[in-house]
Structure 1
């Protein structure tokens, strides 16, 4: 009996590893991740987002396609003249689906905080009291789940900076957190290769802090 249990367990592990390193999935993801870097218009953003959603439909056990589709919704809301609330809500919907696949995931938790921060930015006077602690809690949770996640740390720094500007205080605390995030980004670069499809963004946010934190 133990022998059969062992065979079953080994078979399950082999199947899991095979799915985790599916060349077709990685190739499709890499193509769209590269396309993200060239987006200049809303139409291009929607096209890439739809491609990620098609990958998600083909690979429903993978959280990354939904992650990137959500990220594109958030970035589109900040970059283009669209219904921002609608875009942030769509992002949150994708994140909820992804969280069912990968619960307690630092990247997804940080991205959820990013979407909440976006909704806050639409109407800070009326939403600040409710959404500020929600975003801070999500960033704190993302950091607790993975203390080497540079995006969670940089987004926390962004919230700290926003609060400092709102209350008329200095950026020192935000800058300290941002420097930690920048250091983590540099450390992360050692893991990245051509087939790396996990999130790596954050350089633009880090460079914006360099102007504030001189």
Structure 2
């Protein structure tokens, strides 16, 4: 009996230790991100994703950083390398969390990376896919402020492209901000709503 209790205690202690290591690693990666050290943050998230293969968040954040860094690139080969890497990590995140609205929005963000680089080449095929991704994410989580904001921004971009007013989408941005104030997140390191950025988007919308 004592031996059994000792084994159980070891398993519990190991679990606590592993989780603490995961938490410390994730926090350090976010600290690097906050300091603008995106490459280092991405590399650390990548190491965490390999050490915690059943968790979707580390892979999601690797993909997110790679996508962010793809915007503004002039070399298509470098762009494709970054977005291919991001896609691989998004696929890993999907395998650990199916029908996740945050991952669906990230996939649309990745597609936007291609569209922003060359709208004529990628816009025709990926724009339709993005409409479907946002619709699915909104169906799954209609009160998720990040989903609501992301779809509104996407629609704003389309309106600008076709020379239409963006004002019809201002109400959705306001709704996203309101929803963010009501949202309760109980999952550690879950994506957060960037209210300052949302307010900037609202200002652009109301111009």
| TM-score normalised by L of structure 2 | 0.81
The aligned residue for residue 75 of structure 1 is 68
Q: Deviations over 1:32-73 (max 9, x none)?
A: 12321221xxxx211110100111111111111000101101
- Tell me the distance in 2 between the aligned counterparts of 1:90 and 1:175: 34
Q: Deviations over 1:97-125 (max 9, x none)?
A: 11111111111111111101121111112
| TM-score normalised by L of structure 1 | 0.79
Aligned residues: 192
Q: Deviations over 1:139-183 (max 9, x none)?
A: 111122222322222111111011101111101232222222222
The aligned residue for residue 49 of structure 2 is 56
When residues 52 and 81 of structure 1 are mapped into structure 2, their CA distance, relative to the original with a 3 A threshold, is farther
Please state if 1:211 is matched with 2:206: no
The aligned residue for residue 157 of structure 2 is 162
SS of the equivalent of 1:147 reads coil
5+ residue gaps, structure 2: 1-11
- Tell me the distance in 1 between the aligned counterparts of 2:135 and 2:150: 10
Please state if 1:149 is matched with 2:144: yes
The aligned residue for residue 31 of structure 2 is 34
5+ residue gaps, structure 1: 1-14
The aligned residue for residue 197 of structure 1 is 189
| Of 16, 22, 27, the match for 1:25 | 22
The alignment's C-alpha RMSD in Å is 2.6
SS of the equivalent of 1:67 reads helix
- Tell me the distance in 2 between the aligned counterparts of 1:134 and 1:157: 16
